[in-house]
Amino acid sequence: MIESAQARVSSRNPKTAALARRVAAFAVAALLCGATQSARANPSLLIDADTGAVLYQDHATQPWYPASVTKLMTVYVSLQAVRDHKIGFDTPLVVSARAASMPPSKMGFRPGSMVTLGNALKMLMVKSANDVAITIAEGVAGSVEAFAEEMNASAASLGLAQSHFVNPNGLPDPNHVSSARDLAVLARALYLTFPDQADLFGIGALRLGNKIIANHNNLLGRYPGVDGMKTGFTCAAGFNVVASASLGGRRLIAVVLGSPTATQRMIKTAALLDRGFAGVDQPTLSLASLPQQQGTAAPDMHDSVCRARARAIAESSAEVEALMAPLAAAKAQDFTAPDRTYFYNSRALAGLSPMASRIAMTPPTPFEPVPVFAGPPADYAGPIAQPRPPHSPIGTPGPAIAYAPSDPQTLEGSVAPLASRPDALPMRRGKARGAAALAHLPPPMPAASSTKLIEGDDESGASAAVKTSQTKAVKGRTAKGSRQKPAPHVASKAHVPSKIHGVSKAAGAAGKAKASKIEKHANK
């Protein structure tokens, strides 16, 4: 294709011919660069959602930490329970102490408060709230452990070969793994089994009181036709996403795991979708026939995602260039055709460009927020779902027991990458507390353990971890015995309680100031 493009322009305008040769050379370089990076490529997969045919795959069966993409399975098990009339979307779920103790991302609801299953599922998909995931698990199955059993039973019935689930939110655990192939199977099953709930995965924003909660999926509103599904991030997993898009009556599902940044994740996913909709990749395999990777464990991405990211970003950029090489070559051939008289027209050029090459500069389309609320529905008189004996019916009384977080587990031979990090900054804590206040609930009390864990779905977690690592390095080089100025003492403000039917202006102002201060350090 590249050679034919050069041949076609050999006798035409010298400037046009030179431009075509440069574009073709770029495509060749990208292909060669991609070949050298393939051994270190992170998992990616592109399938046709209707047929299940594999259009593109790279290490699709490599075990991987799914992070918050786990919540797709949490939704699947919950929708099964609704379908089987075990619970309803209007059923109130009780927030337990265990749920309230979860690290961010979270809604910050106080133990004993309630939220309906329908609202909880929306918060789970948009905010990626870890406390809400626990609340759903305990409300549907009685306990987190019982819900994990149901997750694994569903995984077995779907044929997920590399997946094992320990919790409903994807927080780090060495035994909590999946793969790009398994996540694509799960995503396809959600659309095929529960087509009436497809809108749940494409909500751009929620409105809780006066608070707007935006979706972490930065493909929504940027890539034409993207209508879901879920992002995820931990330092050990990297930036993950399962994305679906529909154009011309055809739906594609892309899975990208282990990207070093949220932007790289978005660009790589866009490149896969570009290839699929352009017809670059044709069906060659089915999901069932993908080669299995035997004896491999999920890698730990902590060093390349939350410490020194420069090399990982360069390698990810090379992968994207290799993915886009066929599109670049086709574009070079297209530009040299005699009927392309509008070559220097910037609008026409943008129309011919793959989305992956410009999506990072594309502003998102604003969304109309979907309203949600905390508490039971008005005049609700049915059963209430709360922690109770495993797999018991909704409404069964639960034992009054306290929850104490267990010690974090560590991978053998590692430097505790999956353990909670006391020096990590929480993600968007101010927003979580603001949401709790707007739901007429006071902010949660701090958990018994002061552990903070970087987890979520956006760039701030990794940025905070990188900055923490750099700060430690600087402190380590400080001369021994040097005097440091003490931090200025800041008097703590007294807590201003919310009104019964509203939030006081003073409390709202304090919440906004605190949130902006945290984001100033977390989201640079």
Domain layout of the chain by residue ranges: 22-361
* Amino acid 284: pLDDT: 84
Query: Is the model's pLDDT at 368 over the cut of 80?
Result: yes
The two structure tokens encoding residue 470? 């750099």
pLDDT digits (tens, 9 = 90+) for 58-107: 999 999 999 999 999 999 999 999 999 999 999 999 999 999 999 999 99
The two structure tokens encoding residue 118? 């329908």
Percent of the chain having pLDDT more than 90? 58
- Which residues contribute to the annotated binding site for substrate? 230
CATH architecture of 22-361: 3-Layer(aba) Sandwich (3.40)
Phi, psi of 416 (to 5 degrees): 50, 50
Query: Is the model's pLDDT at 305 over the cut of 90?
Result: yes
Could you tell me how many residues make up the chain? 524
Contacts of 127 (CB under 8 A, 6+ apart): 105, 106, 107, 206, 213, 435
Q: What is the mean pLDDT of the chain?
A: 77
Higher pLDDT, 467 or 222: 222
Pairing of strands 238-247, 226-234: antiparallel
When pLDDT is averaged across residues 433-462 and rounded to a whole number, the result is: 47
* Amino acid 462: pLDDT: 63
DSSP structure string for 64-123: B--GGGGHHHHHHHHHHHHHTTSS-TT-EEEPPHHHHTPPSS---PPTT-EEEHHHHHHH
**What CA–CA distance (Å, rounded) separates 106 from 427?**
9
- Which residues contribute to the annotated binding site? 230
Tell me the catalytic residues: 68, 71, 128
Global pTM reads 0.73
* Amino acid 510: pLDDT: 45
> For residue 368, which amino acid is it?
E
Is residue 452 helix, strand or coil?
A: coil
Q: Is 3 exposed, middle or buried (0-12, 13-18, 19+ CB in 10 A)?
A: exposed
Q: Answer positive or negative: Cα dihedral of 246, 250, 255, 261.
A: negative
